[in-house]
A and B are shown apart, each in its own frame.
Chain A
Amino acid sequence: MLLAASQAGGRLAAVGERGLIILSDDQGVTWRQARAVPTSVSLAAVRFADEHTGWAVGHAGVILRTSDGGETWSRQADGRSLAQASLAEASRSQDARRIKAAQWLVDDGPDKPLMGILAFDTQHVLVVGAYGLIFESTDGGATWTSIMGRLDNPKGLHLNAVERDGDAIYIAGEQGLLLRSDDRGKNFHRLQSPYEGSWFALAVTSNGTVIAAGLRGHAFSSSNKGATWSRLEGAAPASFVGATVVGSDRVVLVNQAGQLVSVGNDERLHVLHAAPLPPTSALVSLPKGALLAVGMTGAKRFSAPANLSGVTP
């Protein structure tokens, strides 16, 4: 079971259950295992700042870092150290509610997963996760600081996906939660959500269009930085779990059932008549119009369906 994948320069890295990290130097044709991965929990996200430096995060709050393009990984943090970081941050704020929440994290033990990564560069990284967890590092991951206090998320909803658009950050989560920061995460504000169900996937195109997708085939797009959203109709009622940008501004979504849909300029979703994939958990765009899907049965590389270009205006 693979859960996520990312480009790392010319290399691909995919992560999954039981600390599995695999690498491909031929854009997904052949794979090999990373040499050293110091964890056995499921890894839910992977992302690189450049071809050498990247992070993988997952269950039990594990944060791994590589500086050799994914060959070897070291453990930078886990649920215990992050809970202590949260408690420290909450104590500084002297906000009783936040201290209580952070104490709960410490007491509960490290059973909460991290779900998403955002790397501005090799030093400045954000990770997000379940129960509203969000941590920031400005020293390449050597120290992590909880920034849960900056988020308007009193219910501690899961943060499922995070993407950036220049200095702007979008976070999508449970029960329709949508957040935006315009200053690299110094301040966040909550967006008016068009949907009360959960989001699992986010994509931002080069011209700033934001696509949020999630439960039961719900997908919305916004061309004004999330101020207003319009529903993208035409999908089967299966949850979207992955999104990627093909070329500069074409967004392709994948649902749990392995069905691919393309977001057309007509504000509709178009089913791509590629053979259905096995149950899928993430999608990555590759050069030359190829796509990589990872999921239940591993990684699968395939050419973007021919009719992807057919839905251009």
Chain B
Amino acid sequence: MSNLNAGASPVVRDLADFDRNSGSIVERAIFNRRGIVIALCLLVTLILGWQATKLRVTASYEKTIPASHAYIVNFLAHQNELHGLGNAVRVVVANPEGSIYDAAYMETLRKINDEIFQLPGVARRQMKSLWTPSTRWTGVTEDGLEGGPVIPDGYDGSPASLQGLATNVARSGELGQLVALDAKSSVVFVPLMSKDTEGQPLDYGALAQSLEDLRTKYQAQGVTIHITGFAKLVGDLIDGVLEVLTFFALAVAITAAMLFWFTRCLRSTLLVVASSMVAVVWQLGLLPTLGFTLDPYSILVPFLVFAIGMSHGAQKMNGIMQDIGRGTHRLVAARYTFRRLFLAGLTALLTDAAGFAVLLVIDIQAIRELAIAASIGVAALIFTNLILLPILLSYTGVSPAAAARSLRAEAASARGVARHPVWTLLDRFTTRRWAGATVAAGAGLLIAGAAVSTHLAVGDLDPGAPELRADSRYNRDVAFVNASYGASSDVLAVMVKTPAGYCSNVETVLKVDELEWQLRQLPGVESTNTLALLNRRVLTGLNEGNPRWYEMLPNQDMVNTITANAPRGLYNDACSLLTMYVFLSDHRAETLASVVNHVEAFAKANDSEDGQFLLAAGSAGIDAATNIVVRQASRTMLWLVYGTVVLMAFVAFRSWRAVVVAIVPLLLTSVLAEALMVALGMGVKVATLPVIALGVGIGIDYALYILSVVMARLREGMSLSEAYYRALQSTGKIVILTGLTLGIAVTTWVFSPIKFQADMGLLLAFMFLWNMFGALVLLPALAYFLPPTAGNAKQVRPDTINRPSARWPAGDDGPAHCEVGCVDIRQRP
């Protein structure tokens, strides 16, 4: 059949008058076998719904780090030779009644230590507390150097043995490390393995739960327990999933209620919500089927799939409703709408999917999995909301009252009644003065936003976990630990690689000594620990503790002797790797950058056969690598996302002017969203990196739906004002509806106890609303200056303009024109 007729959709009141074999091959394949399609979808939903019950919410430390960055490669290559520098949890046991030198406290600590030792996933050999044999002291007497475990021999809890313990702790160097500066608490340091002995990945939820059980059990016995570390943080996030889901449910309910308020049609509202939910079910079912789990950081993805589904579903429903309102049979209305909107919807969803898929280039597994999850979800929407939803509506139809109501404005306008004041207001943006002012204001905002967004920081800006509220249990625990121990939990380790057996080469140790001194001058560096520092301390010790011997003697015999007796952790068993610990005051991006830049410059000037200075291990070292990757990725990602969107928009519109008109409002949203992140004190990190890309994905839907109608009308010879008004009446009002609805729905998230969700709620609300605003205000204003059809006017065939349909009464032009998606169809030869 002729493509030219694809846009002309005559009213078909009786199904018998409809040519079942009209429409594209896809349309015929689907609509002539509606039962089979529904049955298939039902089957898939049942299977994937069953699969979805197997979905696990879990996290993995390894997934949040950029595995192929040089720092991480270095770290992973030497991981087994390093001590206590990987993923670890600190369990701080405090005595609220007094100091740790208390028999009851020490007994409780021993029990806690023993229980933690038994937990699955704990790297037991490297675990450290006052009760582990690896915790030793060294001291100096007139007789020379002495040493031993900090728990004195024959410890029995008596005042004498507690006094012995206190003495040993004082000379162990563990004050501020294992024992608080005020001696009211001590640490059980629990390094974790990424896989247990049977090769199973560490179950963070279960570990966090075990630790929480320990806390409950022993807090009842008179100690207070504070737990920090990545495992506890994600454990708390996983714990909070139920609350997050409650807010999702609230957002879904608000969305459905507003959709119903708008349409006053219960069945179609329910179907739109249901089909969007089906897409979510498919997504959640496909994840475990493909071997993925749901990360706390990608917990927003199912909701975003739902939100995008609502946007498309509402467009389909509106199209069908308006056709039915004009008197068309519900099946024909569904087919017409499919004909009109399938390609536009497909283009938008493919753009979304491609926009998410480009996140795959980012070398962080957690973001890749988010990209896969989001792409799967959006792909599912193609089936559920572009195919299944029209079919379902073709059976149910819509409430007749609602259908009539949907055309009220159109009918009123046809009767010459004044337009709705909102439409009148929006129409002004197609006039010279308003458009000029709007574009100028947009340019001003773009410049101001770009200026503010240059302050967008990478990484964490505050101590503690920004994902949780400042007064959350976890962040209060972090604050307690930072206050009691100095801020020594942020450690960056430099690895110094030497030939085997040469780690104590005096030249190398002198270089370590030099770098250590330079690093100590940097702001943010609290202290350091190296074999060189040990040399200084032991030389002092060997000289009866006289501080005037505090020096790194360039004496190979001395270094060898000291190295042979050094505690574990400063060098590896093969004596081919020295570890330099740099304790930082925080893990803010600037602090990390200044340290790693300094070390890199030093390495460049000093690396030799005998010693190479390699970055980086330790929590702060990994943060530094992650920051570097995230910083690069945040730009790469935007280029790729915009590149994809520009390409898809060009394919859809075949006009550079149209692409500019569609993309500039999105760009403004992206820039302002970054400025908003600055204002909210949020840094770009693994958790927040994808949000801007998701925002582009949301925005392109609005632009596609409005601009394609405007362009179609312009090609028909209408003025911009008239074309824009037509777009508002058909797809534009749904853009307003979804923008407002989703914006309001996610705004409720600011009340979430999980700060990550609250922050995301604000950002998403801003992007939903501002994208809508951009599509309604900036888009027509830009179109005034850059008429989107002017560049390809030659492609418009005059005979397609205002060509009345054979069975269509002239004058009633409403449904006679292609509304959406015909751009492509017309341009096909």
Contact = CB atoms under 8 A, between A and B. Distances in A.
A215 B142 contact: yes
For chain A, give the interface size range.
Answer: 20 to 34
Given A18-B517, A215-B142, A216-B142, A44 B548 contact: yes
B551 interface: yes
B547 interface: yes
A17 B546 contact: no
Interface in A148-170: 158, 160
Contact of A41 (B544, B545, B547, B551): B551
A191 interface: no
A3 B548 contact: yes
A196 B143 CA distance: 12
Given A215-B142, A216-B142, A241 B546 contact: yes
A3 B548 CA distance: 6
Contact of B548 (A196, A197, A281): A281
From B141, B547, B549, B554, residue with most partner A Cβ within 10 Å? B547
Interface in B517-557: 517, 536, 543-551, 553-555
A59 interface: yes
Given A111-B555, A197-B142, A17 B544 contact: no
Contacts of B546: 158, 160, 198, 200, 239, 241
A197 B546 CA distance: 12
A113 B544 contact: no
A198 B544 contact: yes
A126 B546 CA distance: 21
Interface in A101-125: 111, 113, 115
B145 to A, nearest CB: 14
Contact of A111 (B547, B548, B553): B553
A17 B142 contact: no
A45 interface: yes
A293 B547 CA distance: 13
Contact of A3 (B544, B545, B550): B550
Nearest to B553: A111
A257 B175 CA distance: 13
Contacts of B551: 17, 41-42, 58-59, 113
Interface in A1-60: 1, 3-4, 17-18, 41-42, 44-45, 58-59
A295 interface: yes
Contacts of A174: 544
A48 to B, nearest CB: 19
B172 to A, nearest CB: 14
A17 B555 CA distance: 17
A256 interface: yes
A32 to B, nearest CB: 15
Contact of B547 (A130, A158, A241): A241
Interface string A237-263: 001010000000000000011000000
Given A59-B553, A111-B553, A216-B141, A256 B548 contact: no
B544 A239 contact: yes
B547 A160 contact: no
17 contacts: A1-B550, A3-B550, A18-B517, A42-B548, A111-B553, A111-B554, A113-B548, A113-B551, A130-B543, A160-B546, A197-B142, A198-B142, A200-B546, A215-B142, A239-B545, A256-B547, A281-B550
Interface of A: 1, 3-4, 17-18, 41-42, 44-45, 58-59, 111, 113, 115, 130, 158, 160, 174, 196-198, 200, 215-216, 239, 241, 256-257, 279, 281, 295
